[in-house]
A and B are shown apart, each in its own frame.
Chain A
Amino acid sequence: MSEILVISSRVEQIDEARRWLAGHAEGALDPESIQEVEIALTEALSNVIRHSYEGDPDQTVEISLSIDADKLTLAVTDRGRGFDPATYVQPSLDEPAEGGYRVLLMEQLMDAVCHERSPDGKSTLVLVKDRIPK
Protein backbone atom coordinates (compact mmCIF):
# COMPACT_ATOMS: atom_id res chain seq x y z
CA MET A 1 0.00 0.00 0.00
CA SER A 2 1.03 3.59 -0.39
CA GLU A 3 -0.50 6.79 0.95
CA ILE A 4 0.31 10.47 0.77
CA LEU A 5 -0.36 13.22 3.32
CA VAL A 6 0.31 16.89 2.73
CA ILE A 7 0.57 19.18 5.75
CA SER A 8 1.33 22.85 6.18
CA SER A 9 4.73 23.75 7.59
CA ARG A 10 3.53 24.31 11.15
CA VAL A 11 4.73 22.38 14.18
CA GLU A 12 1.12 21.89 15.28
CA GLN A 13 0.64 19.69 12.20
CA ILE A 14 3.20 17.13 13.33
CA ASP A 15 0.72 15.45 15.65
CA GLU A 16 -1.69 14.92 12.76
CA ALA A 17 1.09 13.35 10.72
CA ARG A 18 1.96 10.96 13.57
CA ARG A 19 -1.67 9.89 13.91
CA TRP A 20 -1.90 9.32 10.15
CA LEU A 21 1.26 7.23 10.23
CA ALA A 22 0.20 5.19 13.25
CA GLY A 23 -3.19 4.49 11.71
CA HIS A 24 -1.66 3.04 8.57
CA ALA A 25 1.23 1.24 10.28
CA GLU A 26 -0.92 -0.55 12.82
CA GLY A 27 -0.77 -4.24 12.09
CA ALA A 28 2.23 -3.85 9.79
CA LEU A 29 4.71 -3.16 12.58
CA ASP A 30 4.76 -3.97 16.28
CA PRO A 31 3.72 -1.11 18.60
CA GLU A 32 7.30 -0.39 19.71
CA SER A 33 8.48 -0.08 16.11
CA ILE A 34 5.56 2.22 15.29
CA GLN A 35 6.56 4.51 18.17
CA GLU A 36 10.13 4.55 16.87
CA VAL A 37 8.96 5.53 13.39
CA GLU A 38 6.71 8.20 14.93
CA ILE A 39 9.72 9.73 16.68
CA ALA A 40 11.80 9.61 13.49
CA LEU A 41 8.96 11.26 11.53
CA THR A 42 8.67 13.93 14.22
CA GLU A 43 12.37 14.69 13.87
CA ALA A 44 12.18 14.78 10.08
CA LEU A 45 9.20 17.17 10.08
CA SER A 46 10.75 19.37 12.77
CA ASN A 47 13.82 19.66 10.64
CA VAL A 48 11.86 20.68 7.56
CA ILE A 49 9.67 23.19 9.38
CA ARG A 50 12.33 24.84 11.52
CA HIS A 51 15.37 24.61 9.29
CA SER A 52 14.55 23.83 5.68
CA TYR A 53 11.65 26.31 5.64
CA GLU A 54 13.24 28.45 8.39
CA GLY A 55 9.94 28.72 10.27
CA ASP A 56 7.84 29.91 7.31
CA PRO A 57 4.36 28.56 8.20
CA ASP A 58 2.89 28.98 4.72
CA GLN A 59 4.76 26.18 2.96
CA THR A 60 3.76 22.55 2.53
CA VAL A 61 5.38 19.25 3.37
CA GLU A 62 4.50 16.05 1.55
CA ILE A 63 4.78 12.75 3.38
CA SER A 64 4.50 9.54 1.44
CA LEU A 65 4.18 6.21 3.15
CA SER A 66 4.60 2.82 1.56
CA ILE A 67 4.42 -0.53 3.26
CA ASP A 68 5.46 -3.70 1.50
CA ALA A 69 6.34 -7.19 2.65
CA ASP A 70 9.83 -6.26 3.81
CA LYS A 71 9.73 -2.69 5.00
CA LEU A 72 7.94 0.55 5.77
CA THR A 73 9.23 3.57 3.87
CA LEU A 74 8.51 7.22 4.63
CA ALA A 75 9.57 9.99 2.27
CA VAL A 76 9.35 13.56 3.59
CA THR A 77 9.57 16.12 0.78
CA ASP A 78 9.89 19.88 0.94
CA ARG A 79 10.94 22.74 -1.32
CA GLY A 80 13.04 24.58 1.23
CA ARG A 81 16.75 24.72 1.80
CA GLY A 82 16.84 20.97 2.30
CA PHE A 83 19.12 19.05 4.56
CA ASP A 84 21.69 16.39 3.89
CA PRO A 85 22.23 14.08 6.89
CA ALA A 86 25.68 13.32 5.48
CA THR A 87 26.75 16.83 6.51
CA TYR A 88 25.54 16.31 10.06
CA VAL A 89 28.12 16.29 12.83
CA GLN A 90 26.97 14.18 15.74
CA PRO A 91 27.30 15.79 19.18
CA SER A 92 29.63 14.16 21.64
CA LEU A 93 27.61 11.65 23.62
CA ASP A 94 30.05 12.03 26.50
CA GLU A 95 28.78 15.56 27.12
CA PRO A 96 24.95 15.67 27.19
CA ALA A 97 23.70 18.63 25.17
CA GLU A 98 20.51 20.63 24.82
CA GLY A 99 20.26 19.86 21.13
CA GLY A 100 21.83 18.17 18.14
CA TYR A 101 20.23 14.74 18.55
CA ARG A 102 17.77 14.95 15.65
CA VAL A 103 19.75 12.98 13.07
CA LEU A 104 21.19 10.67 15.68
CA LEU A 105 17.69 9.62 16.70
CA MET A 106 16.50 9.14 13.12
CA GLU A 107 19.52 6.99 12.33
CA GLN A 108 19.28 4.98 15.55
CA LEU A 109 15.54 4.38 15.37
CA MET A 110 15.32 3.58 11.65
CA ASP A 111 17.12 0.96 9.58
CA ALA A 112 18.08 3.39 6.82
CA VAL A 113 18.05 7.17 6.39
CA CYS A 114 18.99 8.88 3.16
CA HIS A 115 18.52 12.23 1.48
CA GLU A 116 17.71 13.03 -2.14
CA ARG A 117 17.75 16.41 -3.87
CA SER A 118 15.93 16.60 -7.19
CA PRO A 119 16.89 19.00 -10.03
CA ASP A 120 13.62 20.91 -9.55
CA GLY A 121 14.59 21.89 -6.01
CA LYS A 122 12.71 19.28 -4.03
CA SER A 123 14.46 17.86 -1.00
CA THR A 124 13.40 14.42 0.20
CA LEU A 125 14.42 12.60 3.35
CA VAL A 126 13.75 8.86 3.14
CA LEU A 127 13.28 6.83 6.33
CA VAL A 128 13.11 3.03 6.17
CA LYS A 129 12.04 0.58 8.86
CA ASP A 130 12.46 -3.12 8.16
CA ARG A 131 9.53 -5.34 8.92
CA ILE A 132 10.44 -8.29 11.09
CA PRO A 133 8.59 -11.44 10.03
CA LYS A 134 6.29 -12.77 12.71
Chain B
Amino acid sequence: MREDSGVTVIRPEGPIDVSKSLDLRALLGEQVASSGGKVLVDMGGVPLIDSSGIGVMVAAHRRAEEAGAGFALAEPSDAVAKVFNLTRTDRLLSIYPSVAEGVAALAG
Protein backbone atom coordinates (compact mmCIF):
# COMPACT_ATOMS: atom_id res chain seq x y z
CA MET B 1 0.00 0.00 0.00
CA ARG B 2 1.40 3.44 -0.90
CA GLU B 3 0.27 6.99 -1.41
CA ASP B 4 0.43 8.72 -4.78
CA SER B 5 -0.96 12.24 -5.28
CA GLY B 6 -3.39 11.77 -2.40
CA VAL B 7 -4.54 8.41 -3.71
CA THR B 8 -4.03 5.21 -1.70
CA VAL B 9 -2.72 2.58 -4.11
CA ILE B 10 -3.22 -1.03 -3.01
CA ARG B 11 -1.43 -3.75 -4.98
CA PRO B 12 -2.61 -7.29 -4.21
CA GLU B 13 -0.23 -10.03 -5.33
CA GLY B 14 -1.39 -13.40 -6.66
CA PRO B 15 -4.83 -14.77 -7.47
CA ILE B 16 -7.83 -13.16 -5.79
CA ASP B 17 -10.10 -16.06 -4.91
CA VAL B 18 -12.25 -17.20 -2.04
CA SER B 19 -9.14 -17.80 0.12
CA LYS B 20 -8.15 -14.11 -0.12
CA SER B 21 -11.39 -12.27 -0.67
CA LEU B 22 -12.44 -11.87 2.97
CA ASP B 23 -9.17 -10.16 3.94
CA LEU B 24 -9.24 -7.97 0.85
CA ARG B 25 -12.88 -7.04 1.45
CA ALA B 26 -11.97 -5.89 4.98
CA LEU B 27 -8.94 -3.92 3.77
CA LEU B 28 -10.78 -2.14 0.97
CA GLY B 29 -13.78 -1.47 3.19
CA GLU B 30 -11.52 0.13 5.78
CA GLN B 31 -9.78 2.27 3.17
CA VAL B 32 -12.88 3.57 1.41
CA ALA B 33 -14.94 4.05 4.57
CA SER B 34 -13.41 7.39 5.43
CA SER B 35 -15.15 10.22 3.66
CA GLY B 36 -13.01 11.65 0.90
CA GLY B 37 -10.78 8.58 0.69
CA LYS B 38 -9.41 7.79 -2.74
CA VAL B 39 -8.45 4.18 -3.32
CA LEU B 40 -6.95 2.61 -6.41
CA VAL B 41 -6.41 -1.15 -6.67
CA ASP B 42 -3.40 -1.91 -8.86
CA MET B 43 -4.34 -5.25 -10.43
CA GLY B 44 -0.97 -5.65 -12.14
CA GLY B 45 0.04 -8.44 -9.75
CA VAL B 46 -3.23 -10.37 -10.02
CA PRO B 47 -3.24 -13.14 -12.64
CA LEU B 48 -6.72 -14.42 -11.79
CA ILE B 49 -9.92 -13.30 -10.08
CA ASP B 50 -12.98 -15.37 -9.23
CA SER B 51 -16.58 -14.49 -8.45
CA SER B 52 -15.81 -13.81 -4.79
CA GLY B 53 -13.16 -11.29 -5.90
CA ILE B 54 -15.64 -9.65 -8.23
CA GLY B 55 -18.00 -9.34 -5.28
CA VAL B 56 -15.27 -7.65 -3.23
CA MET B 57 -14.76 -5.02 -5.91
CA VAL B 58 -18.48 -4.36 -6.33
CA ALA B 59 -18.85 -4.04 -2.55
CA ALA B 60 -15.91 -1.63 -2.32
CA HIS B 61 -17.34 0.47 -5.14
CA ARG B 62 -20.68 0.71 -3.35
CA ARG B 63 -19.12 1.53 0.01
CA ALA B 64 -17.06 4.25 -1.66
CA GLU B 65 -20.15 5.74 -3.22
CA GLU B 66 -21.94 5.75 0.13
CA ALA B 67 -18.95 7.37 1.86
CA GLY B 68 -18.34 9.94 -0.84
CA ALA B 69 -14.99 8.32 -1.54
CA GLY B 70 -13.30 7.38 -4.81
CA PHE B 71 -12.60 3.81 -5.86
CA ALA B 72 -11.07 2.48 -9.05
CA LEU B 73 -9.06 -0.39 -10.49
CA ALA B 74 -6.09 -0.31 -12.83
CA GLU B 75 -4.02 -2.57 -15.04
CA PRO B 76 -6.14 -5.72 -15.10
CA SER B 77 -4.63 -8.59 -17.08
CA ASP B 78 -6.60 -9.85 -20.07
CA ALA B 79 -7.91 -12.79 -18.01
CA VAL B 80 -9.04 -10.51 -15.18
CA ALA B 81 -10.59 -8.00 -17.58
CA LYS B 82 -12.51 -10.84 -19.22
CA VAL B 83 -14.09 -11.82 -15.89
CA PHE B 84 -15.21 -8.24 -15.26
CA ASN B 85 -16.59 -8.18 -18.80
CA LEU B 86 -18.46 -11.50 -18.58
CA THR B 87 -20.16 -10.40 -15.36
CA ARG B 88 -20.73 -6.93 -16.84
CA THR B 89 -19.34 -5.44 -13.65
CA ASP B 90 -16.99 -3.47 -15.91
CA ARG B 91 -20.01 -1.22 -16.56
CA LEU B 92 -20.21 -0.34 -12.87
CA LEU B 93 -16.56 -0.22 -11.86
CA SER B 94 -14.03 2.40 -12.93
CA ILE B 95 -11.22 0.45 -14.58
CA TYR B 96 -8.17 2.16 -16.05
CA PRO B 97 -5.50 0.67 -18.33
CA SER B 98 -2.65 1.98 -16.18
CA VAL B 99 -2.01 2.96 -12.56
CA ALA B 100 -0.95 6.44 -13.67
CA GLU B 101 -4.29 6.98 -15.41
CA GLY B 102 -6.18 5.66 -12.41
CA VAL B 103 -4.29 7.91 -10.00
CA ALA B 104 -4.81 10.92 -12.25
CA ALA B 105 -8.55 10.26 -12.51
CA LEU B 106 -9.01 9.87 -8.75
CA ALA B 107 -6.68 12.73 -7.80
CA GLY B 108 -8.36 15.14 -10.21
Query: Which A residues are within 8 Å of any B CB, using their own CB?
Result: 11-12, 14-15, 18, 32, 35-36, 38-39, 42-43, 46, 49-50, 93-94, 96-102, 104-105, 108-109
Judge whether B78 and A11 touch: CB under 8 Å.
no
Q: Which residues of A contact B15 (CB under 8 A)?
A: 15, 18, 42
Q: Which of B51, B58, B78, B91 contacts A43 (CB under 8 A)?
A: B51
In the assembly, what is the distance between CA of A43 and CA of B53, in Å? 11
In the assembly, what is the distance between CA of A77 and CA of B58, in Å? 31
CB closest chain-A residue, reference B52: A46
Q: Which residues of B contact A93 (CB under 8 A)?
A: 87-88
On chain B, the number of residues with a Cβ less than 8 Å from chain A's Cβ atoms is 26
Q: Which residues of A contact B47 (CB under 8 A)?
A: 35
Q: Which residues of A contact B86 (CB under 8 A)?
A: 101, 104-105, 108-109
In the assembly, what is the distance between CA of A39 and CA of B84, in Å? 13
Judge whether B48 and A32 touch: CB under 8 Å.
no
CB closest chain-B residue, reference A40: B50
Most chain B Cβ neighbours within 10 Å, of A15, A42, A94? A42
Q: Which residues of A contact B89 (CB under 8 A)?
A: 96
Judge whether B50 and A104 touch: CB under 8 Å.
no
Q: Which of A46, A96, A97 contacts B50 (CB under 8 A)?
A: A46
Q: What are 5 A-B contacts with C-beta separation under 8 Å?
A: A36-B82, A39-B48, A46-B17, A99-B52, A101-B55
